[in-house]
């Protein structure tokens, strides 16, 4: 997506959106053809199936024991005995599902308890829980901005944020990634009043693994009187003294009006949430379609999420262990001469020279028992092909040594080929 893209409302937008969708479908079809030709009969990256899990980071793929360096289970809580026990108790007490939305019979005691837990964790008066992180962005952004408003978002923001901007009815534009000067310029030139302007950022951009300039950008936004929303989907559990994310780590929580997050990464289940002191939060329960018109989270998920958040808040040693392993892994990758996209951290990406090399490298890793994510255009900035890795607290030093050893072998092979 290009920088400073404008998306006004109206019929012309519908025509433009249709043309854009047609172009996207053509590119996707072309990409699919390239993938099929490049992979041939080998394992297809879009058709991988995990046949069994043995731990948060160990699984069986195509009959082969595989170490996962492409999971978002940063803290390994999806296999934590306390989270599993909480889920089992809720399952036996409440059954398998809610079978209704929160505004019908799907509003159970556990949902309210989870919202109180999240609000207390963030030190905010209230929180609202959604069924997915995607829905949390749709509902929260749509609740804070509508027709006649302006949304300015970082050019590297997640697809759920862009879709939320489209669905809100507001005019929306992107500013250059992590560029306070560009945001300042756009706010200065805006004809919409600052009180009707929302700035949307991410704490951790997961494609490259780079941190958002949350404090600098939020300071600019507040200088102009705009609202600020930060998506901490990947930052939760990884950054900050209590794990609340990059916003906490940068000392910027007082500058941020709303924080959106997900339970599908560090928390280890599924779902999303929004915490804010803004009065619009109460209205979201009556206005957010992604809250009103979908079934609420299953009781077992709710119980596990609540337990996991308590662990994240009370066990900083788990986060410290993750960072020790992440820094060790990243130092090893850099020592091997690979080109990385961002500063060392639990999530990042190794740059490939193109699709053919990227697919070949990805396949070699998989055949040697290492799974990572391969990211290709249009999902990546600047048309790059990336191998995205993620380190988990559940990884052992032996797991990291195995991955580094395979990377060393492949590096030597490429140099002698």
Residue pLDDT, tens place only, 311-324: 999 999 999 999 99
**Composition of the chain by helix, strand, coil, percent to 5:** 45, 20, 35
Please confirm, yes or no, whether 325 is among the known catalytic residues.
Answer: no
Q: Give me the domain span that covers residue 150.
A: 80-314
Domain end point (choices 272, 296, 314): 314
Per-residue pLDDT at 342: 83
**For the purposes of burial, counting CB atoms within 10 Å of the CB of 160, is it exposed (0-12), middle (13-18) or buried (19 or more)?**
buried
Q: How far apart are CA 38 and CA 35, in angstroms?
A: 5
If you search the block for the tokens 């009781």, which residue do you land on?
Answer: 299
Q: What would the two tokens of residue 157 be?
A: 């923001």
- pLDDT above 60 for 373: yes
pLDDT in tens, 226-239: 999 999 999 999 99
CA-to-CA dists, residue 358 to 62, 248, 304, 335, angstroms: 20, 35, 37, 20
Question: Lowest-confidence range among 35-49, 173-187, 282-296?
Answer: 35-49
Q: Please give the distance of CA 118 from its chain centroid, rounded to a whole number.
A: 18
pLDDT in tens, 165-182: 999 999 999 999 999 999
Same domain, 46 and 88: no
**For the purposes of burial, counting CB atoms within 10 Å of the CB of 388, is it exposed (0-12), middle (13-18) or buried (19 or more)?**
buried
| Candidates 158, 215, 222, 234; catalytic one | 234
pTM listed for this prediction: 0.89
Same domain, 181 and 97: yes
Per-residue pLDDT at 340: 86
Per-residue pLDDT at 326: 97
Please compute the mean of the pLDDT values over residues 259-284 and round it to a whole number. Answer: 94
Q: What would the two tokens of residue 249 be?
A: 């780590």
Q: What is the CATH number of the domain that holds 214?
A: 3.40.640.10
- pLDDT above 50 for 416: no
Please confirm, yes or no, whether 92 is among the known catalytic residues.
Answer: no
Domain end point (choices 314, 345, 369): 314
Average pLDDT, the chain: 90
Q: Write out the DSSP string of 36-74.
A: HHHHTTS--TTS--EEEEEETTEEEETTEEEEESS---T
Per-residue pLDDT at 10: 40
Same domain, 90 and 174: yes
| Candidates 98, 131, 160, 206; catalytic one | 206
Q: What is the CATH number of the domain that holds 326?
A: 3.90.1150.10
Please confirm, yes or no, whether 188 is among the known catalytic residues.
Answer: no
| Candidates 158, 215, 265, 395; catalytic one | 265
- pLDDT above 50 for 405: yes
């Amino acid at each position: 997506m290009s920088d400073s893209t404008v998306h006004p409302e109206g019929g012309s937008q519908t025509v433009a959106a249709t043309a854009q969708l047609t172009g996207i479908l053509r590119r996707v079809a072309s990409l699919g053809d390239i993938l099929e030709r490049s992979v041939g009969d080998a394992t297809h990256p879009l058709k991988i199936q995990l046949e069994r899990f043995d731990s948060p980071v160990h699984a069986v793929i195509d009959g082969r024991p595989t170490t996962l360096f492409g999971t978002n289970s940063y803290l390994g809580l999806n296999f934590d005995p306390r989270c599993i026990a909480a889920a089992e108790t809720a399952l036996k007490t409440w059954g398998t599902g809610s079978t209704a939305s929160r505004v019908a019979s799907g509003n159970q005691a556990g949902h309210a308890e989870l919202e109180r837990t999240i609000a207390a964790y963030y030190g905010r008066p209230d929180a609202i829980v959604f069924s997915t992180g995607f829905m949390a962005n749709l509902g929260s952004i749509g609740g804070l901005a509508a027709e006649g408003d302006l949304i300015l978002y970082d050019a590297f923001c997640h697809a759920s944020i862009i879709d939320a901007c489209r669905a809100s009815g507001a005019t929306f534009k992107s500013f250059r990634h992590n560029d306070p000067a560009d945001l300042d310029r756009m706010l200065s030139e805006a004809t919409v009043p600052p009180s009707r302007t929302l700035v949307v950022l991410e704490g951790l951009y997961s494609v490259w693994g780079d941190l958002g300039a949350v404090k600098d950008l939020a300071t600019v936004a507040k200088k102009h009187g705009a609202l600020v929303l930060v998506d901490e989907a990947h930052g939760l559990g990884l950054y900050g003294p209590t794990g609340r994310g990059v916003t906490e780590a940068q000392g910027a929580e007082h500058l941020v009006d709303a924080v959106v997050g997900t339970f599908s990464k560090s928390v280890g289940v599924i779902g999303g949430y929004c915490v804010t002191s803004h009065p619009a939060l109460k209205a979201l329960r009556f206005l957010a379609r992604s809250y009103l018109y979908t079934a609420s989270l299953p009781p077992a998920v709710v119980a596990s999420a609540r337990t996991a958040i308590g662990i994240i808040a009370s066990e900083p040693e788990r986060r410290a262990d993750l960072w020790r392993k992440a820094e060790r892994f990243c130092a090893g990758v850099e020592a091997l001469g690979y080109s990385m996209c961002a500063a060392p951290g639990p999530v990042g990406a190794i740059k490939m020279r193109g699709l053919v090399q990227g697919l070949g490298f990805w396949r070699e890793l998989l055949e040697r028992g290492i799974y990572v994510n391969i990211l290709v255009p249009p999902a990546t900035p600047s048309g790059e092909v990336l191998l995205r890795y993620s380190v988990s607290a559940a990884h052992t030093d032996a797991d990291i040594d195995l991955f580094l050893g395979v990377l060393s072998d492949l590096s030597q092979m490429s140099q002698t080929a």
